[in-house]
Chain A
Amino acid sequence: MPQFFSNKRLILLLVGVIVLVALIFFSLRDRDHANVPEQIVKDVVGFGQQLFSKPAHYITDLVDDVDSLLNTYEENQRLRSRLVEYAAVQAELSDVRKENERLKDIVGKEDDLRDFEPIHASVLARNPDQWEEKVVIDRGESHGVKKNMAVMTADGLIGKVILTTPFTSTVQLLATQDPDFRVSALVTGETEAFGLIEGFDTERRELILKRIDSAFEIKEGQKVISSGLGGIFPKGLLIGEITEVTTDDFGLTKQAHIKPAADFSMLEHVIVAKRSSTAVDGSDAGNTDEAMDKTADGGKDGDGS
C-alpha cells in the first residue's frame, strides 16, 4: 500500500493546519467587527448572492400569491364581518392619537421611544449550515444600518444587526443560543411588567423572558413588546405571547416562555428599525463587563437592546 503522505507533504499539511487553527482563534476573538478585506469579500459575495436570492424570492412570492388567491372567498367573508368593528376602532384610534399628541404638546415631550425610521431590506442568505441563527440582508452602512439595530418583519421582532459592511449586514435572530443576546422587554396589560429576553428553548421553539419581578402579576396570553429601555431598540415592537409562567431556578424572580410572533424559518423581507430618539452607543469603554450583572440589559459588549 502506498504511503498516504510523503514527508514533504506531511510537513506542508502540518504547517497549513497550524496556520488555520491560528486563524480560527484570531477570528473567534473579534467576530463582531469586519476588517476591510472581510468587508470587501462580504460585499462582493453579497452582490452575487442577490442574483440568486431575488429570483428565488420572486418564485416563493408567486406561490404565496396563488395560495392566497385560492383562499380569497373564505378570507373575504371573515374580513367583512370584522369590517364593522374596524370602523369603530379606527375612529377611536384617531381620537386617541390626537389626544396623545395634544397631551405630549402640553408636557413638551418631543422624543418618543416608539418612533423609528424603517429601512426595508431583503434577506440575501441564511447561514446555510444553520448552527448559528443568522441571516444576511441587502442593506448596509451606506443605507444607514448600524450595529445593534432592531430587525423585524410585519409580524414582529426577529433579531438585531450584529455586523455591518457598506452594502450588507448580518442579523442575529432571536432564536439564537448566544447567552449574550438580550432584549429588554415589557409585558403589556393592566400592570406592565419588565423583563429580559434571555435565551431560547430549542425544543419548544420559544423564547424565555427572565428576571420579571415576582411582585408583578403576569399570565398566559399576555403580549410582550420591546421596552426601548436598552437604549437601541425602539419601544413597542411586538415580540410574542406568553405561553407559560414559572419561577426561575432560585425562586427569586419569575420567568415566562414566549411564543414568538414572527416566524423565523421563512424570512424574505425584513425591516430594520432605526430609532429616532437618541440611541445609546452600544459600547461604553468596557464598563459593561464589570457591571454586566447589575445592568438591566446589555451583553458582553454592552449591546443592550
Chain B
Amino acid sequence: MIRLLIPFVAVVLFYVEPVFGLFSPIEVGDKLRFLIPRFLIMFLIFVGVYYSRQRALVYAIIFGLLYDLFHIDIIGLYAFLYPAVCLLAIWAVKHIHKHIAVVTLITLLLVAVLETALYGFFTLIGFIGMPFGEFVTTRLLPTMIANSVFLVLLGWVFKSLANRRSIQKREGML
C-alpha cells in the first residue's frame, strides 16, 4: 500500500499545482503578486532526504519532463532543474542535519534558488524583461510565503510517509 503511496502523492501534487495556479495572481496593496505552487519539488526533496535518493531523482526527471511537455513546451528545463535541486538538497542535508526543521528550511531555500534560476533562464532567452527588484517583490517573496505555509502544514506528513516507506523497505530486505 505504502509502496504505491509515494508515486500517487507525487501525481496528485503534479495535478494540483496548476489548479492552484488558477487562483494566482492576487492583488495585494495595488500590486499583483504571483504565487507559484512548488508542491511537487518540495515533496520530492523530502522523499530524497528521508527515503531514497535514487527514487527521488527518477521521479524528479519523469515529472520534470511531464511538466516541460505539458506546460512549458521547452523540453529539458524542469527535467534538469528538478533533479538538480533534489541533488543539492540531499547533499546539503547530509552535511548539516536531518531534523525536519532544518530540512524544511533547506527546502524553502532551494525553492527560492529554483525560482531565481528560472528567472535567470527566461531573462536569458528574452521571454521576460522584469527588473530583479520587481521579481523579488512580486514573485519570489509571495511564492516563498505561500509555499512555506504549505510545507509547514504538510511537511511532517511527507516526512512520515517517506520514513514509513523506508522502514518498510528495510524490513522487507531483512
Contact = CB atoms under 8 A, between A and B. Distances in A.
Interface residues of B, number: 41
B99 interface: no
4 A-B pairs with the lowest CB-CB distances in the bound complex, closest first: A125-B18, A23-B76, A128-B21, A20-B76
- A contact residues, range: 35 or more
A131 B128 contact: yes
A247 interface: no
A266 interface: yes
A38 B69 contact: yes
A41 B17 CA distance: 18
Contacts of B97: none
Given A20-B80, A49-B18, A51-B15, A128 B74 contact: no
7 contacts: A27-B76, A52-B12, A125-B18, A125-B22, A125-B71, A127-B18, A132-B72
B74 A24 contact: yes
A49 B70 CA distance: 10
Contacts of B68: 27
B76 A24 contact: yes
Contacts of A266: 22-23
Query: Of B25, B73, B118, which is in contact with the most chain A CB atoms at under 10 Å from its CB?
Result: B73
Interface string B1-23: 00000000001100111111111
Given A17-B80, A45-B70, A128 B75 contact: no
Query: Of B18, B68, B74, which is in contact with the most chain A CB atoms at under 10 Å from its CB?
Result: B18
A143 interface: no
Contacts of B21: 125-128, 130
A90 to B, nearest CB: 36
Interface string B58-91: 0000000010111111111101100000000001
B75 A26 contact: yes
Interface of A: 1, 4, 16-17, 19-24, 26-28, 31, 34, 38, 41-42, 45-46, 48-49, 51-53, 56, 123-132, 134, 136, 163, 170, 177-178, 202, 205, 265-268
B24 interface: yes
Given A52-B19, A265-B24, A131 B70 contact: no
A56 B23 CA distance: 11
A278 B68 CA distance: 35
Given A41-B66, A125-B19, A177 B36 contact: no
Nearest to A34: B73
Given A26-B75, A27-B76, A131 B118 contact: yes
A1 B91 CA distance: 12
Contacts of B12: 52
B132 interface: no
A252 B129 CA distance: 26
B32 interface: yes
